[in-house]
Amino acid sequence: MEKLTPQTPDSISVAADYIIEKSRPNQEVFKYLVYWLTYTYESSKIMGMDAVFVHMVDKYYVTKQAFWVDSTQQYKITKRGAELKPLLLGKKAPYINMADSTGKSISLYDIKSKYTVVVFWDHDCGHCKKEIPKLHEAYVSKLKAKGVAVYAIETENKPAEWKKFIKANNLNWMNVQEPDDYKRAVTKKIYDIYSTPVIYLLDENKIIKAKRIESEQLDGLIDMLEKEKEREKKKP
């Protein structure tokens, strides 16, 4: 899987299916392979490999071929696969519509820019207090000139403190939040936000190109994506 298979989600999924099919005559080997591949790619630290996990869930758990899991495990695994599926690289980012600090409604889909950075953060989060100013510095010094817009989502509902942090750090990008507790919780769940900050990078069509990355990685990722576009243009 690591040495003989190209390390892309599609190639790994094909290789996984090939090996698993070979194992079917022995139930214990079949069980081990399905479990190992599912767990390995669910817990992978490599961006994009969650697509292999989703593939495993769809093919072996949703179809109830994983005969060893009980109903509780079955529910948890298939639920996790369903949660991650809309957030895979190459998918269109789920719709968001929130209010800025003046109360004006701003939709993520209405942003017209070459790239959009969606960042979920909390003004009271210790890590965010360090990372958000770093992201803003990168935005001002490099990213804005490359056609990047930032859609910064405050994950808590403390408007006074939130606005104070925005002003103190001169966050002159799109700052938005959802005052309704239920809607805010739904958005966090849809985007799989269980800690902050979390950064997504979207292209001009709001397709997810990168996720759960550090602010320091954005500049290099955008340069790489631009080079890929140039290569595509040169193809006959």
Co-location of 72 and 120 in the same domain: no
Co-location of 75 and 102 in the same domain: no
Co-location of 42 and 64 in the same domain: yes
Contact partners, residue 199, CB within 8 Å, separation at least 6: 117, 118, 119, 135, 211, 212, 213, 214, 215, 218
Q: Is residue 26 part of a domain?
A: yes
Co-location of 104 and 213 in the same domain: yes
How high is the pLDDT of residue 232? 80
pLDDT beneath 70: ranges in the chain: none
3-state SS assignment for residue 98 = strand
Residue where a domain stops, chosen among 61, 87, 113: 87
How high is the pLDDT of residue 235? 76
Co-location of 80 and 130 in the same domain: no
Cα–Cα dist 34/66, whole Å: 8
Residue where a domain stops, chosen among 87, 116, 131: 87
How high is the pLDDT of residue 101? 87
How high is the pLDDT of residue 229? 85
How high is the pLDDT of residue 228? 87
Co-location of 64 and 106 in the same domain: no
- E strand map for the chain: 97-100, 105-107, 115-121, 148-154, 174-177, 198-203, 208-211
Residue where a domain stops, chosen among 87, 122, 139: 87
How high is the pLDDT of residue 147? 94
| Paired tokens of 45 | 């630290």
Q: Is residue 1 part of a domain?
A: no
Co-location of 119 and 13 in the same domain: no
Domain assignment of residue 139, given as a range? 97-234
pTM of the model: 0.91
